[in-house]
Amino acid sequence: MNNVIISTNIEQTLTEAIARVPHDKLFVLTDENTHRLCLPLIQQLPCLAEAQTIIIGATDTHKTIDTLCQVWTALGNGGGTRHSLMVNLGGGMVTDLGGFAASTFKRGIKYINIPTTLLSMVDASVGGKTGVNFNGLKNEIGVFNAADTVILDTEFLKTLDAENICSGYAEMLKHGLISNQEILSELLNFDLQQPDLLHLGQMVDTSVAVKERIVEEDPFEQGIRKALNLGHTIGHAFESFALTRRPVLHGYAVAWGLIPELYLSCVKTGFPTAIMRQCVSFIKENYGTFSITCDDYPTLFELMTHDKKNTAGTINFTLLADIGDIRINQTATKELIYESLDFFREG
């Protein structure tokens, strides 16, 4: 399990994290956005004086094998050895791809994640999943390998636009649904249009603890960790489908995916309709909707069949019988899945 630190002093925390890992070379991976917006917040720290910076393209469209090769090449050209250390400074794309690059360069070097988006703080930074998109599918290639340290500093939230705050918040909403009424109520009553960042930072702490608890229990997703996939079976299908039109942020796809999956939860496992309606209303209010027609259903269904949770071609869902009452490995007929997409469009 990686060492997750909620930091209020980035210099001290990062200095200690780097000192814990003996290394010959130090690299910092950023994308074009975090290089401009986030690196200046830590660039002058003495602990990074010797660091070499690697810059990759921003957004999920660059989460590819080609970008991975660029990082491997930069590590090699920079004199990297199996005793080197890499700091990934960025959102989930940077921490996922950087973690995979580190895990495979010279058969694996240590790495530190400093997530800079709300999404990567509450989701991508914890749990050791790394990877890249491949063949039109999200995170198709990757490994489980936790960062040596994950540093969460909510100062970086000030660099985010409203859309990226919303994107990360969708994963927090999911964490609320799989934990308890108190956490979910706080999330549904938070003003996402004018967020109080201090309060949001405290909620991040709670949200990360929910994920950590589940990951510790099931590090390799054999059982209960599948709880974290709520909203993701259909959400990932939306996200992959959007790549062929106009890419959407991961959290938006998850928020939209929660709507049909909560509908399935009501129909199949008895989730309370009133709570579903409350969640659907919050999502539509803050995330708008994703435009699909019934002609798109076969394509979306085909994308769902590629989900990594599936077994022998059967689409597996994580559903809820109630808040915190998780039912993994649930299935649904094609007709019911189509019905849930009808609900998504009309509900």
| Per-residue pLDDT tens digits for 320-331 | 999 999 999 999
Give the residue-averaged pLDDT of 240-267. Answer: 95
184 & 300 share domain: yes
pTM of the model: 0.88
User: Residue 253 has what pLDDT?
Assistant: 98
Residues 6+ apart with CB under 8 A from 66: none
Catalytic residue check, 221: yes
Last residue within a domain, chosen from 159, 175, 193: 159
CA 174 remoteness from chain centre: 11
Catalytic residue check, 284: no
Chain position carrying tokens 């930072």:
201
Catalytic residue check, 129: yes
The active-site residue, picked from 62, 110, 138, 225, is 225
44 & 128 share domain: yes
Comparing 139 with 124, the larger pLDDT belongs to 139
139 & 167 share domain: no
81 & 199 share domain: no
229 & 303 share domain: yes
Write the CATH number for 61. Answer: 3.40.50.1970
Catalytic residue check, 236: yes
Is the pLDDT at 308 greater than 90, yes or no?
no
Alpha helix ranges (H) inside 189-272? 197-217, 232-243, 250-269
12 & 139 share domain: yes
Catalytic residue check, 250: yes
The active-site residue, picked from 250, 261, 286, 316, is 250
62 & 144 share domain: yes
Amino acid at 191: D
| Residue spans of beta strands (DSSP E) within 107-250 | 110-115, 132-134, 137-141, 149-152
54 & 110 share domain: yes
131 & 269 share domain: no
Catalytic residue check, 171: yes
Catalytic residue check, 107: yes
Catalytic residue check, 335: no
**pLDDT tens sequence across 209-218:** 999 999 999 9
Which residue segment(s) compose the domain that 32 sits in? 3-159
183 & 235 share domain: yes
Catalytic residue check, 232: yes
Reported as a pLDDT band with limits 50, 70 and 90, residue 2 is low
Last residue within a domain, chosen from 136, 159, 182: 159
The active-site residue, picked from 35, 129, 174, 226, is 129
Is the pLDDT at 231 greater than 70, yes or no?
yes
Catalytic residue check, 23: no
Give the residue-averaged pLDDT of 74-87. Answer: 98
The active-site residue, picked from 138, 175, 211, 327, is 211
- Total count of domains within the chain: 2
